Structure 1
């Protein structure tokens, strides 16, 4: 049995300029799937939009912080297999590392670490891991791969579990 380190609440905020999969309506019916190891969670479907607003919280249990979170965006189809609208992934290593620190004497609003976009990650913009209101959080803009267009905006928040330390 792997040891539970904590939980990450991933708020799928919105998608920006996602691919058009339904040419007749010039839109798509997107939803998001998050995977971490054996876990798989998904958002609701937003119909007829390429700029969906989800604002949905999906929670992942963290047992191995070296595995990246994989994200896929799909276009929901009623009668055929759902179309892929792109994918991305991001490492939670830095995020969990900050969350596991003793942050009792850290002042509110402190930037704990800044992650820059580079070839190895899907970040579309600089992202900061912040200690705010007693929580470790991070806002992320991810550029989707294997598609011509699209970004996903996410908000991560560490959920500590009593008895597990921080």
Structure 2
């Protein structure tokens, strides 16, 4: 049996069909260092821990070595790993949920793996695939929404609200320098533009940055472009895509004050041959806010995926 087939079979186990940390369905990332399958939001925190604690790979996009696949199989999946890493919760601590904020995920995941706060007091990890307590490092700076100041929206006359676009991360971006690229993202709506910071020499960058745009009454799609920053010449384009915000705004107008409703799905942007969606993108009310997770296959370029979240903020 091939290594890829073994990994696919492991992913299809019932306990591996949800994220090991927050329980979100259909995880597409994994940490062979630890032996768990992860959702996009949790894997972003895992990357900040460093590969000595948690090396993160895409189940479908990255190339895996035989050793990494064997490490996953040896652990046995999420239930087996969590029987160690979540064996004992101190008073006042509960398991993470899929709707947790980035700050909550960062605290929980660092406590779980870096500091190993949820082990039984007498338990010592001996698996070669899991970091021992003596390998825990000093806390690292975890990127969060609070550490990336939100850009204030440009004031547009007659605006019907604002969009907070959280650029989460990119995957398998195109090479525009010798071996890598220095990517940044620009989003625009009409004459408004906002952009992320530049990620140096990184084809799988993590931004976790919030960009703000004001929504006029005669809005069109949000345009997203990825560029490679160059010091001495014009920045090279690394792909582009459009975000159709009509499904979100139509749903938002139909439901009015979202804070009056519980968590629920209220709309959907469907994947089709003429848009850049990797998969259908649902519009949801989450904690009284209207949000939409979007995965985009960059167009007019050889490769590249951008993961982001859009939130509509009424005026």
Do the aligned partners of 2:260 and 2:288 also contact (CA within 8 Å) in 1?
Answer: no
How far off is 1:116 after superposition? 2.0
Q: Which runs of 5+ in 1 are unaligned?
A: 162-166
Structure 2: distance between partners of 1:15 and 1:65: 30
Q: Deviations over 1:108-165 (max 9, x none)?
A: 221111222102221111111001101000000011011010011110111122xxxx
For the 8 Å contact 2:293–2:308, the answer to whether it is kept is yes
Tell me the equivalent position of 1:72.
Answer: 225
Of 29-38 and 108-117, deviating more is 108-117
Q: How many residues align?
A: 159
Q: Greater helix share, 1 or 2?
A: 2
Q: 4+ residue stretches of structure 1 with deviation over 6 A?
A: none
The Cα of 1:3 is off from its aligned counterpart by 1.0
Match of 1:124 among 278, 302, 311: 278
Q: 8 Å contact 2:259–2:288 — kept in the other structure?
A: no
Highest RCO, 1 vs 2 (Cα 8 Å, sep ≥ 6)? 1
1:19 aligned onto 2:174: yes
Q: Is the 8 A contact 1:8 1:60 kept in 2?
A: yes
Larger radius of gyration between Structure 1 and Structure 2: 2
Q: Which runs of 5+ in 2 are unaligned?
A: 1-155
Say which structure is richer in strand.
1
Q: What's the TM-score, normalizing by structure 1?
A: 0.90
Instruction: Report the TM-score when normalising by structure 2.
Output: 0.48
Change (3 A) 1:105 1:152: closer
